């Protein structure tokens, strides 16, 4: 592979979230690039966040934190490179923050927008995501509005220094309930958030900018209480000193191959001295990856990154549905033969 490369994707290859897929896939190859001293050009495309005709989002939603030289580059597809060189990222937040900042920074327009908000020193950030991730029982447990409100209230009661809340949510009802529940606190939000797969949005870049803004503002808080979402998990990478807690299990879904979901999985679970709240947390944390002895032995202590065997990568870039179906059929046939014996 040429050392002077441009990392690319086709517009339809990355069809999941900005943080949970695009940023994560990129993050997983940064240790390889950094170890080789490679500072590539980028042309990452996404139909969910980019604009016709090329749909390029990086650079754009992220700024490159170094100068790329003029000249010819060899194009390398991100998925191919990830299949060959992806690593398993761990919970060493200082290392993760330093590595990310070697390559990328938030765009100036988002930084300027964030600076227009009041100071969030000493604030509690709350991220309640009521859609997709929160509903996926394979990945996590559903956090109801009532459960999250109870846990947020308990955290505020036990931290009397909190005078400001920053709320990031895709649930209008959640924001309304927080205002009603805490009328004496200053409550700040960035406006209604859209789901990353929502269509009919005039400017998909605005959708990405809003996600970046929420993440940045959450990172400026002192505390963070969150359900499962890579968006708020990345706030810990922007600010390793952020005191961040998750309230819900991060499960080892079948496609993870036993690897915890970065960055969320490495955040500590919230605990409470209130028996009712602790019962909620105990229920929400059922099935967490920390219950798996093998996973804890491999990933339970903070680490920078670990090598990942090729076969443990989720799927090769040229994987097909037909191929998966054939493998499932073969396994079912073998099981049927075994049962007939």
Cis peptide before 53 (omega within 30 of 0): yes
User: pLDDT tens, 165-185?
Assistant: 999 998 889 999 999 999 999
Report the chain's C-alpha Rg in angstroms: 21
Q: What is the pLDDT of residue 274?
A: 98
Check whether 190 has a pLDDT greater than 70: yes
> Is the distance from CB of 74 to CB of 5 less than 8 angstroms?
yes
Check whether 1 has a pLDDT greater than 50: no
Q: What is the pLDDT of residue 72?
A: 85
**Residue range 296-318: mean pLDDT, rounded:** 75
**Residue range 212-240: mean pLDDT, rounded:** 97
Q: Is 57 exposed, middle or buried (0-12, 13-18, 19+ CB in 10 A)?
A: buried
CATH class of 108-303: alpha beta
> Is the distance from CB of 74 to CB of 6 less than 8 angstroms?
yes
Q: What is the pLDDT of residue 146?
A: 96
**Residue range 17-42: mean pLDDT, rounded:** 96
| Nearest residue to 118 via CA among 190, 174, 208 | 190
Check whether 338 has a pLDDT greater than 70: no
Q: Considering only residues 48 and 30, tell me which one the structure prediction assigns the higher pLDDT.
A: 30
The set of residues, in sequence order, having a beta carbon less than 8 Å from that of 308 and lying 6+ positions away, is: 28, 86, 87, 88, 259
Q: Which long-range contacts (CB under 8 A, 24 or more apart) does 155-163 make?
A: 155/124, 155/223, 155/225, 155/270, 155/272, 156/124, 156/182, 156/185, 158/272, 158/273, 159/124, 159/223, 161/122, 162/122, 162/123, 162/124, 162/222, 162/223, 163/122, 163/123
**Residue range 305-319: mean pLDDT, rounded:** 61
Q: What is the pLDDT of residue 195?
A: 46
Strands (E), 132-242: 164-169, 186-189, 223-226
- The pairing of beta strand 63-64 with beta strand 104-105: antiparallel
Q: What is the pLDDT of residue 335?
A: 61
> Is the distance from CB of 194 to CB of 170 less than 8 angstroms?
yes
Check whether 131 has a pLDDT greater than 90: no
What DSSP state is assigned to residue 276? H
200 pLDDT band, cuts 50/70/90, is: very low
> Is the distance from CB of 239 to CB of 217 less than 8 angstroms?
no
- Per residue in 12-30, is it b (16+ CB within 10 Å) or e — as a string? ebbebbbbbbbbbbbbbbb
- The pairing of beta strand 63-64 with beta strand 56-58: unpaired
Q: Which element (helix H / strand E) includes 87? A: strand 87-89
> Is the distance from CB of 212 to CB of 229 less than 8 angstroms?
no
**Residue range 76-97: mean pLDDT, rounded:** 96
* Structure token pair of residue 66: 């170094």
Check whether 315 has a pLDDT greater than 70: no
- Per residue in 229-256, is it b (16+ CB within 10 Å) or e — as a string? bbbbbbbbbbbeebebbbbbbbbbeeeb
**Residue range 64-71: mean pLDDT, rounded:** 87
């Amino acid at each position: 592979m040429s050392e002077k490369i441009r990392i690319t994707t086709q517009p339809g290859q990355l069809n999941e979230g900005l943080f949970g897929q695009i940023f994560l896939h990129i993050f997983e190859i940064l240790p390889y690039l950094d170890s080789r001293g490679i500072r590539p050009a980028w042309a990452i495309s996404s139909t969910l966040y980019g604009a016709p005709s090329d749909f390029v989002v990086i650079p754009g939603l992220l700024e490159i934190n170094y100068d790329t030289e003029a000249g010819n580059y060899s194009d390398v597809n991100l998925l191919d490179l990830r299949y060959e060189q992806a690593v398993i990222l761990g919970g060493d937040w200082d290392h993760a923050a330093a590595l990310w900042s070697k390559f990328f920074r938030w765009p100036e327009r988002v930084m300027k927008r964030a600076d227009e908000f009041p100071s969030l020193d000493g604030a509690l950030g709350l991220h309640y995501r009521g859609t997709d991730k929160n509903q996926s029982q394979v990945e996590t447990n559903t956090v109801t509005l009532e459960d999250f409100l109870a846990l947020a209230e308990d955290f505020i009661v036990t931290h009397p220094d909190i005078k400001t809340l920053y709320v990031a949510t895709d649930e209008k009802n959640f924001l309304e309930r927080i205002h009603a529940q805490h009328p004496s606190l200053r409550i700040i939000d960035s406006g209604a958030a859209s789901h990353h797969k929502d269509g009919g949005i005039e400017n998909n870049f605005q959708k990405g900018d809003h996600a970046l803004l929420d993440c940045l503002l959450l990172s400026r808080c002192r505390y963070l209480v969150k359900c499962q979402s890579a968006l708020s998990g990345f706030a810990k990478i922007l600010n390793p000193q952020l005191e961040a807690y998750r309230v819900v299990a991060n499960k080892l879904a079948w496609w993870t191959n036993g690897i915890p979901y970065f960055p969320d999985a490495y955040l500590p679970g919230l605990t409470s001295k209130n028996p009712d709240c602790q019962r909620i947390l105990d229920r929400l944390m059922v099935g967490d990856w920390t219950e798996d002895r093998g996973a804890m032995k491999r990933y339970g202590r903070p680490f920078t990154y670990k090598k990942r065997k090729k076969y443990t990568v989720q799927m090769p870039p040229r994987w097909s549905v037909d191929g998966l179906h054939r493998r499932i059929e073969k396994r079912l046939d073998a099981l049927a033969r075994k049962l007939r014996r």
